[in-house]
A and B are shown apart, each in its own frame.
Chain A
């Protein structure tokens, strides 16, 4: 399963950058857009910025796998990442991550080349943990029941392979940073022929990502700005899969939104 998993991830990573697909996929789901119309979705710019950021991070990671990378190239890419971060900080997209996670410094460090240089798992996980814990706190109360409900409906019927692709698709920008780092780790792990994740690991990760999706959507209700960019980035994740799969995911989102609207 290990090899298959690695292959699958790399393919996903490839398709993740195909911007044309995302658009197509998103446009095909007018009803979703309609449902969320209140949040003024302007996907193209933030989507492109996000995919540029992702692309740059992959490039940087690959740079730093080399003993002596082309310094000029890596410096230019690192500066591009800093620039995107700066802009995201200004328009609040980055801020959102910082304010929600207690570890502001850890996120600042994310763009410093230091962390980008290394594909160390601890760093990624160290970042993810505080994010999750604060999210849990946010979600305490009325929505927590809904969350668990959604989680169960979404996760139970799927086969592991699909689960894994869903893990990629459904992740939201808030945890994107962390998950991106994490996913890169996974890619490099397979590249380095380290032991692949077990099925249990996959399940736990899927749970996390779904949990996060919920919290994002919850956050969206209280903070429109945050919500709007989440939704913009959302289709970028769904695009990675085939159309039918994408559709079912979006239906699930529809369902989630319905629940949230009702509550």
Chain B
């Protein structure tokens, strides 16, 4: 297992908040975290509709220990609260997902979505500005033509670096239900957006129409027993995508088969263990996140208590199942009562698909090494971690005698949950969102 030190003393605070513990507003709660394809940038979205982008600093020879620290690069308001007058309904500005597009020129592009609207943002740098136009002055006002007596050649003058975020496309009015996933296709020309009952396919250039590729809405909504919880494109095959459901199943669809992918190509489902059956069986088997491995060979799913790895070639059961916090199995009734059982934990792969990571309660997050089958529980907290200190594995005590450094199940804080994490695409750098704090950890440097 890799040893992660708290190398970066970085605790992200959105602007305009006081830098003191536990002082934050609802709007500051981080709702999504995502590295771009090179790992140079890291974007977070929050409940207040803001997107904050961090950029990794270039390595400097004077301070080798400060290898690649992430600093704020750009902050912008991606979504504003809206009101649907037709339904008399407020549309939250909360950013549900961010997905980066592969970089093709100097600018960066990302998709961000709230419950209803997906936006394509361009993030670009400007360090020069043009000067000496003939028809307008330095402030951009038109000059009186009678005053123009000579022609001059405009020149570019260097200026302080400015990072601009501009909305390039707005993909609206295609979702009746709440968008839970967006995924960029490997053809880089299309992407999909999934809500509770439908999945739409978009072209990046076309905002006024999308193709409905999955629709599970029953004619009679009273018969509704299943919803779509997450969806993702295959990393290499642009015709293939998967979506997960609240019944704990995953469907793999091939867009070449038909325009509307009503019939799946593959159906992944694990038979229920009768010994573990309870009224909560369905709720805890509901899949909160689905992710293809970088290789495209496996899919990982997260349900309430476990993470599972499925081989695309085996539909009847997962090849690996990891218990995230099995000690909660006896507490399901209380977790149902306080609604925690509906928390949507996400999961991520490391760059080589050998380690998986997912969140838990009490600001704990878990890592599972698929090769050695070892696992570790780590904690993201300001108190426990000094800069450059090595994160100490935590242990939850299940019954019996509690050792000094263990925490008992009953003293776990269920309001501190780690739902969103991200793993650098090639290095052992992870980003962990704990309520309104973003922790960036890096593996130990000699």
Which positions 198-239 of chain B face chain A at CB distance < 8 Å?
221-222, 224-227, 229
Cα A76 to Cα B286 with chains together (Å): 8
Cα A71 to Cα B222 with chains together (Å): 12
Are A72 and B286 within 8 A (Cβ)? yes
Q: For residue A135, give the distance in angstroms from its CB to the closest CB of chain B.
A: 29
Chief secondary structure at chain A's binding surface:
helix
Interface string of A1-45 (1 = CB under 8 A from B): 000000000000000010000000000000000000000000000
Whether a CB of chain A sits under 8 angstroms from the CB of B178 is yes
Are A17 and B279 within 8 A (Cβ)? no
Are B342 and A72 within 8 A (Cβ)? yes
Q: Which residues of B does A touch, CB under 8 Å?
A: 87-89, 177-178, 196-197, 221-222, 224-227, 229, 246, 279-280, 282-283, 286, 333, 336-337, 339, 342
Take A49-B279, A80-B279 as given contacts and tell me if A71 and B227 are in contact as well, using a CB distance cutoff of 8 Å.
yes
Whether a CB of chain B sits under 8 angstroms from the CB of A133 is no
Other A-B pairs beyond A71-B178, A71-B196, A113-B221, 11, CB < 8 Å: A55-B337, A68-B89, A70-B342, A71-B227, A72-B227, A72-B229, A72-B286, A73-B339, A79-B282, A80-B283, A82-B225
Cα A198 to Cα B250 with chains together (Å): 54
Q: For residue B237, give the distance in angstroms from its CB to the closest CB of chain A.
A: 28
Whether a CB of chain B sits under 8 angstroms from the CB of A75 is yes
Q: For residue A159, give the distance in angstroms from its CB to the closest CB of chain B.
A: 32
Q: Which residue from chain A places its CB closest to the CB of B91 in the assembled complex?
A: A68
Closest 6 A/B residue pairs (Cβ) = A71-B196, A73-B342, A67-B89, A76-B283, A72-B227, A114-B222
Cα A52 to Cα B221 with chains together (Å): 24
Cα A70 to Cα B197 with chains together (Å): 12
Cα A59 to Cα B342 with chains together (Å): 12
Cα A67 to Cα B339 with chains together (Å): 19
Whether a CB of chain B sits under 8 angstroms from the CB of A84 is yes
Whether a CB of chain B sits under 8 angstroms from the CB of A48 is yes
Take A70-B178, A76-B342 as given contacts and tell me if A55 and B87 are in contact as well, using a CB distance cutoff of 8 Å.
no
Cα A84 to Cα B333 with chains together (Å): 14
Are B224 and A113 within 8 A (Cβ)? yes
Residues of B contacting A76 with CB < 8 Å?
A: 246, 282-283, 286, 342
Take A67-B87, A73-B342, A75-B226 as given contacts and tell me if A17 and B337 are in contact as well, using a CB distance cutoff of 8 Å.
yes
Whether a CB of chain B sits under 8 angstroms from the CB of A83 is yes
**Other-chain contact of A52, B178, B279, B282, B339 (Cβ < 8 Å):** B279
Q: Which residue from chain A places its CB closest to the CB of B281 in the assembled complex?
A: A83
30 contacts between A and B (CB under 8 A): A52-B279, A52-B333, A55-B336, A59-B339, A67-B87, A68-B87, A68-B178, A70-B342, A71-B178, A71-B197, A71-B227, A72-B229, A72-B246, A72-B342, A73-B342, A75-B225, A76-B282, A76-B286, A78-B225, A79-B225, A80-B282, A80-B283, A82-B225, A83-B279, A83-B282, A84-B279, A112-B222, A113-B221, A113-B222, A113-B224
Cα A71 to Cα B227 with chains together (Å): 8
- Which of A55, A59, A70, A82 has the most B CB atoms < 10 Å from its CB? A70
> How many residues on the A side are at the interface (Cβ–Cβ under 8 A)?
23
Residues of B contacting A73 with CB < 8 Å?
A: 339, 342
Q: Which residue from chain A places its CB closest to the CB of B195 in the assembled complex?
A: A71
Q: For residue A161, give the distance in angstroms from its CB to the closest CB of chain B.
A: 28
Chief secondary structure at chain B's binding surface:
loop
Are B177 and A71 within 8 A (Cβ)? yes
Residues of A contacting B280 with CB < 8 Å?
A: 80
Cα A112 to Cα B177 with chains together (Å): 21
Q: Which residue from chain A places its CB closest to the CB of B177 in the assembled complex?
A: A71
Residues of B contacting A80 with CB < 8 Å?
A: 279-280, 282-283
Q: Which residue from chain A places its CB closest to the CB of B342 in the assembled complex?
A: A73
Q: Which residue from chain A places its CB closest to the CB of B225 in the assembled complex?
A: A79
Q: Which residue from chain A places its CB closest to the CB of B224 in the assembled complex?
A: A75
Which positions 56-93 of chain A face chain B at CB distance < 8 Å?
59, 67-68, 70-73, 75-76, 78-80, 82-84
Residues of A contacting B87 with CB < 8 Å?
A: 67-68
Interface string of A103-135 (1 = CB under 8 A from B): 000000000111000000000000000000000
Residues of B contacting A55 with CB < 8 Å?
A: 336-337
- Which of A17, A49, A68 has the most B CB atoms < 10 Å from its CB? A68
Cα A52 to Cα B341 with chains together (Å): 14
**Other-chain contact of B246, A68, A75, A112, A114 (Cβ < 8 Å):** A75
Cα A48 to Cα B229 with chains together (Å): 29
Q: For residue A92, give the distance in angstroms from its CB to the closest CB of chain B.
A: 18
Are A67 and B88 within 8 A (Cβ)? yes
Residues of A contacting B246 with CB < 8 Å?
A: 72, 75-76
**Other-chain contact of B333, A48, A70, A72 (Cβ < 8 Å):** A48
Q: Which residue from chain B places its CB closest to the CB of A77 in the assembled complex?
A: B283
Cα A52 to Cα B280 with chains together (Å): 10
Residues of A contacting B225 with CB < 8 Å?
A: 75, 78-79, 82
Residues of B contacting A79 with CB < 8 Å?
A: 225, 282
Cα A79 to Cα B225 with chains together (Å): 7
Cα A124 to Cα B341 with chains together (Å): 30
Residues of B contacting A70 with CB < 8 Å?
A: 178, 342
Q: For residue A122, give the distance in angstroms from its CB to the closest CB of chain B.
A: 18
Cα A42 to Cα B227 with chains together (Å): 37
Cα A206 to Cα B286 with chains together (Å): 42
Q: For residue A15, give the distance in angstroms from its CB to the closest CB of chain B.
A: 13
Residues of B contacting A75 with CB < 8 Å?
A: 224-227, 246
Q: Which residue from chain B places its CB closest to the CB of A71 in the assembled complex?
A: B196
Q: Which residue from chain B places its CB closest to the CB of A112 in the assembled complex?
A: B222
Q: For residue B91, give the distance in angstroms from its CB to the closest CB of chain A.
A: 9
Residues of A contacting B196 with CB < 8 Å?
A: 71-72
Cα A179 to Cα B97 with chains together (Å): 43
Cα A122 to Cα B108 with chains together (Å): 58
Cα A73 to Cα B341 with chains together (Å): 9
Cα A79 to Cα B336 with chains together (Å): 14
Q: Which residue from chain B places its CB closest to the CB of A82 in the assembled complex?
A: B225
Residues of A contacting B89 with CB < 8 Å?
A: 67-68
Q: For residue A19, give the distance in angstroms from its CB to the closest CB of chain B.
A: 8
Cα A73 to Cα B283 with chains together (Å): 9
Residues of A contacting B342 with CB < 8 Å?
A: 70, 72-73, 76
Q: Which residue from chain B places its CB closest to the CB of A48 in the assembled complex?
A: B333
Residues of A contacting B227 with CB < 8 Å?
A: 71-72, 75
